[in-house]
């Protein structure tokens, strides 16, 4: 929600729900890499 609020304040229009991308197994504690994708309207 924080990221969506920041995007809206910057003038971006979000057009979908956020998606979580986890690249590492849950038992890996160090060096994990994850991303959150939020679709925005592009003109």
Domain ranges of the chain: 2-37
Q: Alpha-carbon distance 32 to 24, whole Å?
A: 6
Count of residues for the chain? 43
Cα 41 from chain centre: 15
Q: How many helices (H) and strands (E) does the chain have?
A: 1, 2
Q: How confident is residue 1, by pLDDT bands cut at 50, 70 and 90?
A: confident
- Looking at the DSSP bridge assignments, the partners of residue 22 are 34
The reported pTM is 0.65
| DSSP annotation of 35 | E
How far apart CA 12 and CA 42 sit, in angstroms, is 9
pLDDT in tens, 13-37: 999 899 999 899 989 999 999 999 9
User: In this structure, what token pair is assigned to residue 7?
Assistant: 């995007």
């Amino acid at each position: 929600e924080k990221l969506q609020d920041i995007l809206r304040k910057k003038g971006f229009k979000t057009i979908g729900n956020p998606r979580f991308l986890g690249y590492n197994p849950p038992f890996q504690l160090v060096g994990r890499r994850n991303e959150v994708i939020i679709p925005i309207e592009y003109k």
